[in-house]
Structures are given as C-alpha cells and as structure tokens.
Amino acid sequence: MPFDTDIEAADRPLLINNVWQAGSGGEWLPILNPVDESVIGRHAVATIADLDMALASAQIAFESWRDVGPLARAQMLRAAAALILDRADSLAKALTREQGKPLAQARMEIEGCARAFDWAAEEGRRTYGRVIPSNVPGLNWSAGKYPIGPVAAFTPWNFPASQAAAKIGSAIAAGCSIILKGPEDAPTGCVGLAQALVDAGLPPGVFNLVFGRPPEISEHLIASPIIRKISFTGSVPVGKHLAGLAAAQMKPCTMELGGHAPVLVFGDVDPVATAKIAAAGKFRNAGQVCVSPTRFMVHASIYEPFVETFVATAQALKVGDGLDPATEMGPLANDRRLAAVEAVVADALAQGARLRTGGSRIGNVGYFHQPTVLTDVPETARVLHEEPFGPIAVISPFADREAAMAQANATAYGLAAYAFTGSQVDAAFVAKRFESGMVGINTLGIGGAEGPFGGVKESGYGREGGTEGIEAYLTTKLVALMPV
C-alpha cells in the first residue's frame, strides 16, 4: 500500500489513472490531529494540470467501463469490500486520529463502507429497463438504463470514509467513472477506499482521487464537458453554489446538504429511557452529523424527567481522545467547527436561553467542547434556525401536537426528523406531516446502504443508497426499433 496509517507525518497523495502521485506543483498541506492540533501528515494539492489528467483518465476509462457487464463490476466491488474489512483496524485508527470520533465509531464507519460497496455491487445487477407496447405494427419500443457518464463527487470530513463509499460504490456499479474530491481534513479514509479498489483490480481511470483547494477543484471539474453528473455532500451554502455551477452546464446533481432535525417526544413513552437514547444519538460524533437530533420537543407531562435524564447523561459522557477506549465523545474536527459552536451557544445565552449543562470549550489545546443542553431558548436565537453541527441540544415542552409539528417544520431544512411514541395514531401523524426526506419513529437509526438517504427543502435533492442510489448514476434511453 502507498501509505501506512500508523506512521506519523504520512503523506496522502493523489490517485490518477491508478498511479499514486504528488501534485504536479509539489505543494503539500498539513493534516492536524484535533486532539492536540499536532501535524500528523500531509495531503497533496492538485493543480489544474492534475485535474485535467484526472478528467482525461476518467473519460478514457468510461468508454470501456460502461461496457463491462454488471456481474464483473459487482465482483470488483465485492473484492474491494473484503479488502476494506481486512484493513478496518488500521483505517479506523487513522480516521480517529484525523477526525476525532471514538475508535468504535470509526470502526463502524469503515465497516459501513464495505456494506455500501456490497449493496451497490448487488443492486447494480438489477438496473432493469422495460419493453413498451407499441400501437404501430412491427415497431418495438424499449426503455433502458445506461450509465450517465463520468462523475465529479465531493465529500465532507464528518464521515470521511462512508460518505465517499456511497458515491463511489453506486457510480462504479452503474458503469460510470468517477473523480472524487475527498476531505482534506481527514483524507485517509478515501485513500484507503482507493487502495482497496486498485488492489481489487479496478481498471485505471475508473476511480480518481484528488485533494487540494476545494473552490478551484469544484469549479474546474464542474465546468468540464467531460463531467456529466455532480454529487455533493456538505453545507447548504456550498451546495447552492455548486448547484448553480452545475445548472449553468445543465448537469444533473445529487445534493445531500445540511439538516436541523426535530424530535417529537410524546407523553406515552418512558421519559428516562427515551432521554438516554436521545442523548446518545445527539452526541454521536460530537453532533457533527447531518441527521443529528437537535431540537427536542417533549410533551409537557414528561418534560422535566426527560430534561433531567438528558442533562445527567450529557454530564456523564467521557470526552477525550478517540483512541482512548473509555472515550464516548471526541473533539470537534477542526478549529472552524469549534469557533462556530462557541458562537451559536453565546448567541443563545445572550438572548436569554437557560444553560442546563456544558456551554464551553474544554481546555485550550485541541478542539474539545462540552456536551451542551439549552432550554428556554427564544425563537430569535440562531441555534433554532441554523444547523449547529456540534454537541448542542435544545429542549422545549409542548402540549399540542399540531403546534409542535408546526414548530418542527419551521426551518429551511428537511433532511431527518424523529418521533418517540407508543401510539400508532401519532406515528402515522408524524410520518405524514414531517417535512423531511427521512423519518425515524422510536429510533434514531435511519441511515443504511439499503435505503434512500436525502432531504427536501434546503436540505437538497436526489438520494443516495437503496435503488435510488444507483438510479442517480443512470440515464433512461428510449429505443424505437422498426425491423427492416
């Protein structure tokens, strides 16, 4: 392998045409450990010349890969999935060092990459078309599914391996080539996926991996006539910008953007048990999860015991280095996130919110922040309208479910929403009325390779995962055939 996840100051190069290489400009930028802000490696910086090489490679590879049968594509992905599992320990350790999440969570993420590849491998064998009856004697109509072409994909640092795996697996299974701009803050997950694909025998150019300066890379790739499809996971502002660039080229997009998930907790559930589940979900990955539950609306009849348990659970969390087996929540991934979380909390407190626990940075080295719980938050506070993307929970009581639902839907986001209830009537109510792409009822587990993942409103459009994940990389072609 071209890298060793256990070596300090390791380099993370570009992969172009199955060759690991430095950027042609010779520039490298540091990778920091969020625990202590030390330099633990470097990533290469792609130049325009490097991007043009990747584009040419992807174009040439697509012309042959699209004709490879779905079974052969599936075998390639499944072989890569097996290699990912073999290397899961070292990849998980590298992920934790770069991104900060506890090692057990990192291991789950790496294993999820293998599942994503395996699912895409099997689902790619079932991209069926159809025969259409014709009213013209002798005329045969068919509608087939064909790979859309070379893809440009952009993935974030919060789940640096699994977000990439979903795009890579679906694109390759559909018969597309793909250029991925991975996350510079945490690049090793993508490097590990790339190496597994190379070792599994993926032909040169089917998958290319670049790092560098995101605006320069995205603008150049999206503008290229070679690229036929855009897939992006990240913030709403960046997603809107990239969607605009793609629209100017009439290129289809999958946009998986931010969220600000509401949680309705009805009065017929156990407040203590539910609060423990809710708190564990909120502080997973230090709240840096696009589907993270954040705005908890709890029925007034169980509000106080819910808040008391939630706060106690937050206070008991062990915050520290993700490589420590005792750690339950690691640091925020970078200094930008720490500053943003501090600003959102300060705004809420300045407007009169009540701080139940947390609220501050931990220490002055590393990007640690306390698990934070706010109540009595005024409607004008930023935390109710902007995705906090950190370890912040806002809890409020409700008495009327219609009013609570109106409050739940009162943001520009629509990615995930949750409810806890023992009533089938209330379950049906929230399933129908939540304005979101995904709904969890009595569970916070809504992600998986088997199901469609995505949102509505400003949380984006298009889906990853499930049948829809493959469909995003296919185009429908009608063929009308009149025999001679």
Dist CA 279 CA 316 (whole Å)? 11
The DSSP secondary-structure symbol of 331 reads -
How many H helices and E strands in the chain? 14, 21
Which H helix or E strand runs over 324? none
How far apart, in Å, are the Cα atoms of 350 and each of 70, 102, 289, 341, 391?
Answer: 58, 32, 26, 14, 19
The residue with tokens 């995003």 is 472
From 109, 123, 290, 458, the catalytic residue: 290
- Residues paired with residue 208 on neighbouring β-strands, in sequence order: 179
Of the residues 98, 109, 184, 256, only one is catalytic, namely: 256
41 alpha carbon, distance to own chain's centre: 23
190 a catalytic residue: no
Q: Distance between CA atoms of 187 and 459, rounded to whole angstroms?
A: 25
Q: Tell me how far apart the alpha carbons of residues 484 and 482 are, in angstroms, rounded to a whole number.
A: 6
Vertex 285, ends 6 and 394: CA angle to 5°? 160
256 assigned to active site: yes
The answer to whether the CB of 450 falls within 8 A of the CB of 464 is no
Whole-number Å distance between alpha carbons of 59 and 66:
11
Question: From CA 55, how far away is CA 221, in angstroms rounded?
Answer: 8
Q: Residue 347 and residue 412: Cα distance in Å, rounded? A: 20
3-state secondary structure 73-98: HHHHHHHHHHHHHHCHHHHHHHHHHH
CB 19, CB 203: distance < 8 Å: no
> Which residue numbers are catalytic?
256, 290
